[in-house]
Structure 1
Amino acid sequence: MLSSPDFVRTHTRLAPVPFVPELVLHQADEPIELWERTEADGVEQPPPFWAFAWAGGQALARHVLDHPELVDGRSVLDMATGSGLVAIAAARAGARPVAANDIDPLSLAAATVNAAANGVVVDPVEGDLLDTDDGYAQATVLLAGDVFYSRAMAARFLPFLRRAAARGALVLVGDPGRAYLPTEALTRCATYDVPVPAELETVTVRHTTVWRLR
């Protein structure tokens, strides 16, 4: 397979984000074909979440750009960054430093390439941070888009985010009503109708909420 940045550039197109048109991302048109390409060397790969602008991330990016006072001058950790969209929005809004975390190396390649395309810098952090409370996890703002998509992930993410909130971090979550969203622990900040790829979501618009963890 091509090097990760070259793979991202070769198999996607640079285009504006539907709900955040002032930002651009390398995006794919079809998820299954791209996934097959990532596994062309015979090595099993995670789904290419990094190649699409998901509803929760779009809403969270929009909210941060519209309310830069939330992150301006503060350290930010974007969890499960995917394309890097939310981290890029935070950097554009004045956050410093900004870390983009994911377990998928292709995601971090995409986040780095996308950040450069938007004229900002994000620090790619590979690995599972959910059982740690030091290093990058000490950021003063934690951002998490579309992370409550399964029971197992919700069971791991919520304690991590609660520990961050308990030490005084601002924790914001973007979510289009996924089944395992812990609404009892959250306060609604804003709602948006976000355009999404029908190939991924079966609809063209998702009513999406930005929440603050209490």
Structure 2
Amino acid sequence: MINKETFILENTSPLPCLNIPAIKLYQADEIHDLWHMTEAEIGKIGLDPPFWAFPWAGGEALALYILENPETVRGKKVLDFASGSGLVGIAAKKAGASLVLANDIDAFACEAIRLNARLNHVSIEIDNNNLVKNGSHFQNSFDVILAGDVFYDKTMSETVISWLKLFDRSKTAIFIGDPARAYLPVEWMEAKTSFKLHVSKAIEDNSFKHVTIWQMKP
């Protein structure tokens, strides 16, 4: 069985985020074997695709929005849904959230979140449950839900938006960072702002990405 902490530390380096250099994450780049592994090779060693090893544009834009608008989370209980690296949750904690729960169904992501939180000297709680299937008891637990780049797959998008609709948006503000993914349910969203971000051409097929921050309508 792979030791998650050892695997992450051996296959990543602590690097600043391209657009938020004050936050560092354990990231894979060209010097790491993980960067060059195919999906089949990753599967052979029992890993899900390592989304946690990169700061994706949707999450980075959402983190930037939170840091520029700290009143969004200050003193509030925050859920960082489908957290990946933990970047958005880390930003929320730095912006003054009273509590941050970072959730991801990938156990390696949860370990990466723990390591990244420690790297950035913040304390966040971590949850590995599938909240969409089993998280109805959380519906009145958070003031803010943050989700970076979760509408890239049709089936997942339909499932996630159905779950988010269950929340009383007069009590729970829901913010999405989305780089123009095909399955974003725009009819449920109100645009707040947008960012043009530097991104890794190797993982995003471009050097820049336009990302919109959306708030889910009441």
- TM range, normalised to the smaller chain? over 0.9
- RMSD value, Cα: 1.8
Given residue 8 of structure 1, which amino acid in structure 2 is its aligned partner? I
| Structure 2 segments unaligned to the other structure (5+ residues) | none
Shift of 1:195: 1.5
Shift of 1:43: 4.4
Listed as ranges, the matches of 1:122-137 within 5 Å are 122-131=124-133, 132-135=135-138
- Give the whole-Å Cα distance in 2 for the aligned partners of 1:37 and 1:118: 31
Q: Which residue of 1 aligns with 2:187?
A: 184
Contact 2:66 2:73 in 1 (8 A): yes
Stretches of 4+ aligned residues off by more than 3 angstroms: 34-39
Change (3 A) 1:16 1:181: same
Shift of 1:2: 4.4
TM-score, normalised with respect to structure 1 = 0.93
| Structure 1 segments unaligned to the other structure (5+ residues) | none
Q: Which residue of 2 aligns with 1:105?
A: 107
Work out whether 1:213 is the aligned partner of 2:216: yes
Q: Which residue of 2 aligns with 1:48?
A: 50
Secondary structure of 2:23's partner? strand
- Give the whole-Å Cα distance in 1 for the aligned partners of 2:16 and 2:204: 19
Contact 2:139 2:166 in 1 (8 A): no
Work out whether 1:164 is the aligned partner of 2:167: yes
Secondary structure of 1:21's partner? coil
TM-score, normalised with respect to structure 2 = 0.91
Q: Which residue of 1 aligns with 2:197?
A: 194
Listed as ranges, the matches of 1:1-214 within 5 Å are 2-30=2-30, 31-33=35-37, 38-39=42-43, 42-131=44-133, 132-135=135-138, 138-166=141-169, 168-214=171-217
Shift of 1:47: 0.3
Cα shift readout 1:136-168 (whole Å, capped 9, x = no counterpart): 772111000010001101111102222224462
Shift of 1:135: 3.5
Provide the aligned length of Structure 1 versus Structure 2.
212
Contact 1:138 1:164 in 2 (8 A): no
- Give the whole-Å Cα distance in 1 for the aligned partners of 2:216 and 2:76: 18
